Amino acid sequence: MSTLKIGVYICHCGGNISHYVDVEEVRAAVAGEPGVVVAKTAMFTCSDATQQEIIADIREHNLEGLVVASCSPKLHLFTFRETARRAGLNPYQYTQVNLREQCSWAHRNNRRAATEKAVRLVRAGIARTNLTVPLEPFKIETVPAVLVVGAGVAGLRAAVGMADLGMNVYLLEKEAQPGGWVNRPGKMYPAGRVGKEIIAQLLAEVQERERITLFTGAEIVEKSGSVGNFQVKVRVGGRRRQEISLNVGAVIVATGFDVYRPAACEYGYGFTGVVTLPEYWDLLAAANGNLIYRRKEIKDVVYIYCVGSRQDPEKENAHSYCSRYCCSAAVYAALQTAEINPQIRQYHLYRDMRTYGKSELLFTRAREQGVRFLKFAGDNPPRVEEQAGGRLQVTVCDLLTYGEEVEIRADLVVLVTGMVPRENEQLVKVLKLPLGKDGFFNEIHPKLRPVETVVDGVFICGAAQGPKDYPESVASALAAVTQSAALLKKGYVELEPLVATVDPERCRWCGECAAVCPYAAIEKGQYLYRQVAWVNEAVCKGCGGCAPVCPGQAIDLRGYTDAQIKAMIDGLLKGGL
């Protein structure tokens, strides 16, 4: 077997690997593998210093292949490809072996066996590397335009942000009016501004910018193309229903959230006088001197927190997450209530008061104003009953007064409802957006790539990604602007060359491959006078789904060819230490 000159680096990961795997033994065991000319261990291979060392080694030994046995390629594949590139080695002749997630963390109690497994994994990585060939990424010119889906506060601000960076923006709103949940008459924390005015300000900014086109009553129906150059079909509503095609480089999804709708009788929902928090905001906005509900003056208000949030995860379809914004929003509503009429008695029944950060000051102020706070346990929630005469009675076991059962008569019960993911089936289908366990759109990584999704070029922001208050939604919208601008302003994107290839000599076009391709990347093509499968390399994700279904073994995956996979299996089976 022909070999390349290969450098192998085995990472301690600061102990994450070396506490459970004898990395020195792994190094010794693989140092004599075919092709290996450098074999070293390092405390943190990803550290700049070790990267420099690798670069020096590649140059000194004219290495033709690189193997780093460290963590998941999700974390550092690109790191070390870049290291290889800086040293003048083709980045696709790099292999990352995952010794952390797939070995040390999984086998913490058996150092011998973990070490042996590590050796086998590294051997497989070396075997694959020996069969790599230099590959070049595909360069695709990017379209300096972006599609923003959703014209709530996040989408509006994202549109303005993109336009300010010289991008054309198509802003889509499903409803007839832009503005989303913020577009309401009440004041909002933390700025104390009226929601409608915030939206009006942003809309004015949108209108000032010629680069932005706003479509209302509009929905995305189809998307094709790839990162940097998407073709999107949009159905624009209104009387003259029509479909238009847009060409954009990226998509920002800012479709927001929905308010939790309590089930019938959940905390008395359905009784007269039991309202949700957004309903209460409208009441506050309409108040003039006194707080009136159904022509009756309100004197006693009870708020029940965590309605639709922090639900028992054991229950079906539970919203077990915290909705983040509601504690501060409810406390802010209490302050507004006290401002309208300080005589109104307010009782807040909460679980944990999550007025984080500077919102803590709202909580302090509310207590100073005489607002009463009672704490209940999650497994012993308050009961709401309707009494004769229409008054409401709330019974709660208050942990702050040593578990005393307290009965409160109320004119109004405000259910502090949380945020739930919006129904977005169509959008999810078209954009292939991933959902998290909580039902919100899922980012790739909350810290490394918080507004990116697994679909390249499709970004998420605002409460569509998870509960946020509106300034936080705006911040994440601008982060999505930054991320998409970083993608589009360069003028081109580089796509992975690790895609499927068809050997036309072997292909007899049966269509099996096209049928399984989840990305519609395989089409019928022409070779000599025959019909063969043709792979659209810009669309192919390199998932490899087509390769095993081909009856004629005509499809191979670059970077993971059949020959490479076989060699890796041989490496794994070669024997232990």
Partner 1 sequence: MNYDILVIGSGIGGMEAALKLGDMGYRVLLVEKEPSIGGKMILLSKVFPTLDCASCISTPKMAAAAHHPNVQVMVYTEVKEIKKNGSGTFQARLRKKPTFVDPALCTGCQQCETACTVAVPDQFNFGLVARRAAYIAFPQAVPKKAVIERAGTSPCSFACPAGIRAHGYVSLVRSGKYEEACRLILESAPFPGSLGRACYARCEQECTRAGLEGPVAIRQIKRFVADYYYGAHPEPEDAPPIAPSGKKVAVIGAGPAGLSAAFHLAKKGHAVEVFEAAPLPGGMLRYAIPAYRIPREVLDRDIKNVTTLGVKINQGKRVTDLAGLKDKGFDAVFIATGTPRGRKMKVEGEDLAGVVNALDFLRDVNAGRVSLQGKTVLVVGGGNVAIDAARTAMRLGAARVTVQYRRSRAQMPAHDWEIEAAGREGVVFEYLAAPVRFLGENGKLAEVESVQMELSEPAADGRRIPVSVVGTERKRPADLVVIAVGLEPETEYFGDQLAVNADKTIQVNPATLQTSIPFVFAGGDVVTGPSSIARAVGHGRRAAFFIDRYLRGEDLAGAEVEFDCRLPVVSKEEVLKRQESYRDLPPVSKKEILREKPGDFTEVELPLTEEEARSSAGRCLDCGVCAECRQCVATCPAGAINLAAKEAEKEVEVGSVIISTGLRLFPAGGKPQYGYGRFKNVLDAMQMDRLLAPTRPYNTVLRPSDGKIPNNIAYVLCTGSRDATVGNPLCSRVCCMYSLKQAQLLTGVLPLADVTVYYIDIRAFGKGYEEFYEQAKGMGVYFVKGRISWIEEKEDGNLLLTYEDIENGGKLSRAEHDLVVLSVGFLPAPEVRGLFSAEELAVDEFGYIREVEEDVNPGKTSIAGVFAAGSVSGARDIPDSILHAGAAAAQAAAYVERIRGKK
Q: How far is the CB of 339 from partner 1 (least distance, A)?
A: 20
Among 62, 201, 290, 426, binds partner 1 (CB under 8 A): 201
Q: Which of residues 47-106 bind partner 1 (CB under 8 A)?
A: 47-49, 51-52, 71, 75-76, 78-79, 82, 86
> Which residues of 328-431 form beta strands (DSSP E)?
345-350, 372-375, 383-386, 392-398, 404-410, 412-417, 419-421
Residue in the structure block whose two tokens are 């539970």: 318
Of residues 171 and 202, the one with the C-beta less far from partner 1: 202
Residue closest to 8 by CA, chosen among 69, 62, 49, 61: 69
Amino acid at position 453, single letter: T
171 near partner 1, judged by CB under 8 A: no
Q: Cα–Cα distance between 158 and 483 in angstroms, integer?
A: 11
Residues 309-348 that bind partner 1 (CB under 8 A): 309-310, 313, 320-322, 324, 327
Among candidates 316, 327, 304, which has minimal Cα distance to 381? 304
Partners of 271 in the β-ladder: 269
H-run or E-run covering 492: strand 492-495
Shortest Å, Cβ 211 to partner 1: 12
In the set 67, 202, 227, 302, which binds partner 1 (CB under 8 A)? Answer: 202
155 near partner 1, judged by CB under 8 A = no
Q: Name the residue nearer to partner 1 (CB basis): 368 or 425.
A: 368
Residues 254-273 that bind partner 1 (CB under 8 A): none
Binding to partner 1 (CB under 8 A) within 453-472 occurs at 465-467, 470-472
- Which of the ranges 187-195, 263-271, 382-390, 504-512 carries the binding residues for partner 1, by CB under 8 A? 187-195
Q: Could you tell me the smallest distance in angstroms from the CB atom of residue 299 to partner 1?
A: 28
Angle 115-117-118 from CA coordinates, rounded to 5°: 60
385-424 positions binding partner 1, by CB under 8 A: 399-403
Does residue 475 belong to the site contacting partner 1 (CB under 8 A)? yes
Interaction of residue 244 with partner 1, rule CB under 8 A: no
Using rule CB under 8 A, residue 480 touches partner 1: yes
- Residue 356 is a binding residue for partner 1 (CB under 8 A): yes
* Smallest distance, partner 1 to C-beta of residue 74, A: 10
Alpha helix segments (H runs only) across 131-225: 153-164, 195-208
Give the number of residues in contact with partner 1, rule: CB under 8 A.
Answer: 87
| Amino acid letter, 390 | G
Cβ 559 to partner 1 shortest distance, Å: 21
The interface with partner 1 within residues 481-540 (CB under 8 A) comprises: 481-483, 485-487, 489-490
Which one of 119, 198, 464, 499 is in contact with partner 1 (CB under 8 A)?
198
CB 79 within 8 A of CB 54: no
Q: Nearest distance from residue 466's CB to partner 1, in Å?
A: 4
Between 485 and 547, CB nearer to partner 1: 485
Rule CB under 8 A: choose which of 352, 385, 423, 494 binds partner 1.
352
Look at residue 155 and give its three-state secondary structure: helix
Beta carbon of residue 511, minimum distance to partner 1 (angstroms, whole number)? 41
Angle at 463 between CA 455 and CA 483, to 5 degrees: 45
CB of 491 to partner 1, least distance (A): 9
**Are 301 and 384 within 8 A, CB to CB?**
no
Task: Closer to partner 1 by CB, 253 or 478: give it.
Answer: 478
Q: Judged by CB under 8 A, does residue 209 bind partner 1?
A: no
Amino acid at 126: I
Nearer to partner 1, 92 or 373 (CB): 373
**Where are the strands (E) in 180-267, listed by range?**
187-188, 193-194, 212-216, 218-226, 229-236, 242-248, 250-253, 257-259
In angstroms, the CA 530 to CA 526 distance is 6
Is residue 411 a contact partner of residue 292, using CB atoms and an 8 Å limit?
no
Q: In the set 31, 106, 133, 191, which binds partner 1 (CB under 8 A)?
A: 191
Would you say 205 or 279 has its CB closer to partner 1?
205
**Measured between alpha carbons, how far is residue 274 from residues 66, 181, 331, 518 in Å?**
65, 21, 18, 48
